[in-house]
Every structure is written in structure tokens, then in C-alpha cells.
């Protein structure tokens, strides 16, 4: 992934420099074409940077939500604090999956939300 991203950024940078050289060519047509190309590559460059920053943030948010939901359904007393493992991203998810209580999660007969088999009370509704 990093090699691909580096290659894309390098190619965009070279194309951006080439369009600036075209803009400095001296004739009006070259300057207009270079300025237009420069703007298009600038927009593409910014979009690639925004997407490459947004993907890790989305992964972290999804992992935090999953950890919180799973920890509550397993009746963990530290469910609110354990969700911060998601800030580490996929590594935090692996750490959580290795240290969480093992067992099956079944739907609660009262509220229908998942709870770990063998818990005395449902962590969501409190019924038996």
C-alpha cells in the first residue's frame, strides 16, 4: 500500500512540475494549458491526500464502535474504558479479541439484544 501511494504521489508531483514548466513556456496557449493542468492536478493531489487520511479515521471509528458493543454484550465491567483500544486501530482490535471473555453471545429473551451465555443478568435491560 505504501509503495503504491508513494508511486502515485511521485507521478502527480512530476505531472504538476511538468504543467508548471508548460505554463512558463512564454506563449499564451501554453500558459493557459499549463494553468488549467496545474489546477486539475492540484485538485487530484488534494483528493488523494484527503482520502488517505480519511480511511484510517473511518477504520478507527468502526473498531471503537465494535469494541464498545461487544464489551457491553459480554458484560465486561470496564466496557466504557476498553473501547479506547480502538484508537490503536486494527492492532487494538486484535488485543481486545485476545483478552475478551470467551463464550457465545445469545439474544436476551427480554430485550432481544446480545448477551454472553451464562451471565446472571442482561447488561442491557437487567432482566434474568
Inform me whether the pLDDT recorded for 24 exceeds 70. no
| Percent of the chain clearing pLDDT 90 (strictly above) | 0
Q: How far is CA 22 from CA 11, 12, 68, in A?
A: 16, 15, 54
Q: How confident is the model at residue 121 (pLDDT cuts 50, 70, 90)?
A: confident
Which residues partner with 115 through β-bridges?
106
Q: How confident is the model at residue 33 (pLDDT cuts 50, 70, 90)?
A: low
- For residues 24 and 66, give the distance between their C-alpha atoms in angstroms, rounded to a whole number: 53
pLDDT score for 105: 81
Least confident of 9-13, 98-102, 121-125: 9-13
Amino acid at each position: 500500500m505504501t509503495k503504491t501511494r508513494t508511486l502515485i504521489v511521485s507521478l502527480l508531483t512530476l505531472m504538476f512540475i511538468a504543467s508548471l514548466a508548460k505554463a512558463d513556456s512564454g506563449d499564451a496557449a501554453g500558459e493557459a494549458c499549463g494553468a488549467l493542468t496545474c489546477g486539475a492536478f492540484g485538485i487530484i493531489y488534494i483528493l488523494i491526500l484527503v482520502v488517505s487520511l480519511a480511511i484510517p479515521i473511518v477504520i478507527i471509528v468502526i473498531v471503537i464502535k465494535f469494541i464498545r458493543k461487544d464489551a457491553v454484550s459480554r458484560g465486561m465491567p470496564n466496557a466504557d474504558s476498553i473501547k479506547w483500544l480502538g484508537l490503536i486501530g486494527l492492532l487494538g482490535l486484535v488485543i481486545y479479541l485476545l483478552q475478551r471473555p470467551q463464550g457465545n453471545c445469545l439474544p436476551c429473551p427480554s430485550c432481544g439484544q446480545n448477551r454472553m451465555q451464562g451471565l446472571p443478568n442482561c447488561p442491557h435491560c437487567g432482566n434474568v
